[in-house]
Amino acid sequence: MKFVTAILVILLAAPSVFALEYPVVWNLGNDYSSWADRPLTANDTLLFTYSNAHNLLVVNRGDYDNCAPSNPITSHTDGRTVIPLTPGPMYFICGIGNHCTQGMRLQVNVSTSASGGTTPSSTAGTPPSSSTPAGSNGAPGLSMATHVMFGLPLALGTLLAFMA
């Protein structure tokens, strides 16, 4: 019984890993400028939804700044694209026509952990704004972030508690 109790305590004390999914409505007319200041963390994801009139290109900073679609890191056309976030800045544009120069470009700064990393210090500890309903434009969407918890320690601890 002491062994089971010890394992339960260890499993429950182990941190669970959290990731958030942020919806992005990828369309002309949306203001994506506020995304650069959002506190995003590695392993979070962006879920881009868009029509066949658009595409989603992951690009480097130079191609983002110049709206240059000719050399993307990755290219997506499926209309529903999930992008796992990696630490550092990430850049997205629409490569169709002049959509990028009309505002279909998004930059995010991704920290290595929830405690900081590469997120600009001016936004550290600032809760995301949710004044605009999620999905009404591509920018906020944070109030509707989907919480995903990989709670293996909690599940195993509960299972062991019932087995004891």
User: Quick one: tokens of 101?
Assistant: 């120069």
- Residues of the chain with pLDDT > 70: what percent? 59
CA distance 3 to 98: 65
Contacts of 34 (CB under 8 A, 6+ apart): 129, 139, 140
CA distance 30 to 127: 22
pLDDT-derived band at 131 (thresholds 50, 70, 90) equals very low
Per-residue pLDDT tens digits for 37-77: 999 999 999 999 999 999 999 999 999 999 999 999 999 99
Residue 54: phi and psi, rounded to 5, are: -135, 165
Contacts of 14 (CB under 8 A, 6+ apart): 153
Most trustworthy range by pLDDT among 38-42, 79-83, 127-131: 79-83
Q: Do 46 and 155 touch, CB atoms closer than 8 A? A: no
β-bridge pairing 45-49 and 105-111: unpaired
Q: Do 123 and 41 touch, CB atoms closer than 8 A? A: no
Which pLDDT score, from 0 to 100, does residue 1 have?
61
Domains belonging to the chain, first-starting first, are 18-148 (2.60.40.420)
Closest CA to 109 of 88, 82, 128: 88
Q: Read off the pLDDT of each residue in 118-135 and give the average, rounded to a whole number.
A: 33
User: Quick one: tokens of 109?
Assistant: 């700064």
User: Quick one: tokens of 72?
Assistant: 């993307």
Per-residue pLDDT tens digits for 138-148: 444 433 333 33
Q: Do 96 and 56 touch, CB atoms closer than 8 A? A: no
